[in-house]
A = this chain, B = another copy of it.
Amino acid sequence: MKSADLLLLGASQVVTLDGGRAAAKRGADEMNDLRVITDGGVAVRRGKIVDVGTTNHITSTWRGLKRIHCRGRTILPGFVDAHTHPVFARARENEFAMRCRGKDYEEILAAGGGIHASARAVREAELDTLVAGVSARLDRMLVHGTVAAEAKSGYGLTTESELKSLRAIRRAAARHPMTVARTFLGAHVVPEEYTRDRKGYVELVIKEMLPRVAKQKLAAFCDVFVERGAFSVPEARAILLAGRRLGLRPKVHADQFRDRGGARLAAEVKAISVEHADATRRSGMRALAEAGVIPVLLPSASLFTGLKHVPNARALIAEGCAVALATDFNPGTSPTENLLLVASLGCSLLQMTPEEVVTAITRNAAAATGLADSHGRIAAGRPAHLVVLDAPSYEHLPYRMGTNLVWRVLIDGQLVADRGRVVRSPTR
């Protein structure tokens, strides 16, 4: 008998998502292949998975001091939220109410709302205030099974406030069990004060913000919002290439409202992911598939803004893309940290299968976040980042729409959330 620290035993299913060498699973064949062990268990030693198999295999091979009995429950890799905007100083429920009364986005902007409202608040906010906000949002992600997230700046839009935003993420994450990958999104929109000098703002991003972000190692990724009212393809290309020269891997917010060539740009600059892709045409989808760019689809934003723009997941999968799903958590168009709800919407709004949505919030989301080596699957040798669902099969995850089925969450083999509440470790 070999010795482990912790055994999870008797789960109805262990959904490993293992197998295959590529970081992400591409197309319907791979995305539907979850590698499920029935009546399964996991052995953990020093924070790592040391074995996965049937309960019989685990109990006959390992003895462990601690045991978690998972009867009637399902073990999955911890979820990864591949696209979030958690640094803001004020909720925007008032704008939401305006939209419900029929005001459109332009009218809300004109009334001082939208991203510009967030920018004013973030610029004024103390770092500590921002850190507290990010921490609370990470906690809510965690109790919904999210063990790692990508987190963007982009509500500051000045050099200082963008750096402050990235520092807020870094500081909140340093005290939190979740892994957080930081993305610099200084090119979210052109701020109000540069409305008549777009070129000046693009230069500010390239010549001042990006070098400081890189020097202070504040971000792993550089993202640009390619859209009318935001940035053109040439502007975005210049910013993304400048970031890439400084070691920041490109991401692109593209084709949310119309296909403006953002997906093709993402393929051209070898972005790790393309975000939204609601309006991407077939040619853009093929370019993404060929370049191995992961489309990160955001159905809760589609729903929250009234379903005017919904990504074509079936076509992206048919073209051979490795699709991920994320919350797009942000105060304007997707104020939810609940990745299980997003998975449900993947089925009901995007016609994805339960297997595809599970792949999309685990293995493919990990790849889109640069965490393919540590997150997104259950296999010996990998860190023990695990979610236990209070349901007998993974199909319940999207089926039980809007119910937080997460029973327990483990990061590095440590219990970090238990039925809706964060478990604080005394050593953390």
Q: A residues bordering B, Cβ < 8 Å? A: 91, 93-94, 96-97, 100-102, 140, 300, 303-307, 334-338, 341, 347-349, 351-354, 393, 395-396, 398-404, 419-421
Given contacts A140-B403, A341-B402, A402-B341, contact A100 B351 (CB under 8 A): yes
What is the minimal beta-carbon distance from A297 to any residue of chain B, in angstroms?
A: 15
Alpha-carbon gap, A348 to B310, bound state (A): 14
Say what secondary structure dominates the interface of chain A: loop
Once the chains bind, are B419 and A354 in contact (CB under 8 Å)? no
Q: Which of B300, B347, B420 contacts A401 (CB 8 A)?
A: B300
Once the chains bind, are A100 and B353 in contact (CB under 8 Å)? yes
Alpha-carbon gap, A306 to B338, bound state (A): 20
For A100, list chain B residues within 8 Å (CB): 347, 351-354, 398
Given contacts A100-B351, A348-B304, A353-B100, contact A336 B401 (CB under 8 A): yes
What is the minimal beta-carbon distance from A85 to any residue of chain B, in angstroms?
A: 15
Given contacts A96-B347, A100-B352, A101-B353, contact A402 B402 (CB under 8 A): yes
Nearest residue (CB) in B for A400 is B335
Once the chains bind, are B96 and A336 in contact (CB under 8 Å)? no
What is the minimal beta-carbon distance from A378 to any residue of chain B, in angstroms?
A: 21
Once the chains bind, are A402 and B347 in contact (CB under 8 Å)? no
Given contacts A91-B396, A421-B420, contact A354 B97 (CB under 8 A): yes
Alpha-carbon gap, A100 to B97, bound state (A): 33
Which of A91, A393, A419 gathers most chain B CB within 10 Å?
A: A91
Alpha-carbon gap, A338 to B336, bound state (A): 14
For A140, list chain B residues within 8 Å (CB): 403
Q: Which of B300, B303, B306, B402 contacts A336 (CB 8 A)?
A: B402
Alpha-carbon gap, A271 to B421, bound state (A): 43
What is the minimal beta-carbon distance from A276 to any residue of chain B, in angstroms?
A: 17
Q: Which of B93, B337, B398, B402 contacts A399 (CB 8 A)?
A: B93
For A398, list chain B residues within 8 Å (CB): 96, 100
What is the minimal beta-carbon distance from A283 to any residue of chain B, in angstroms?
A: 26
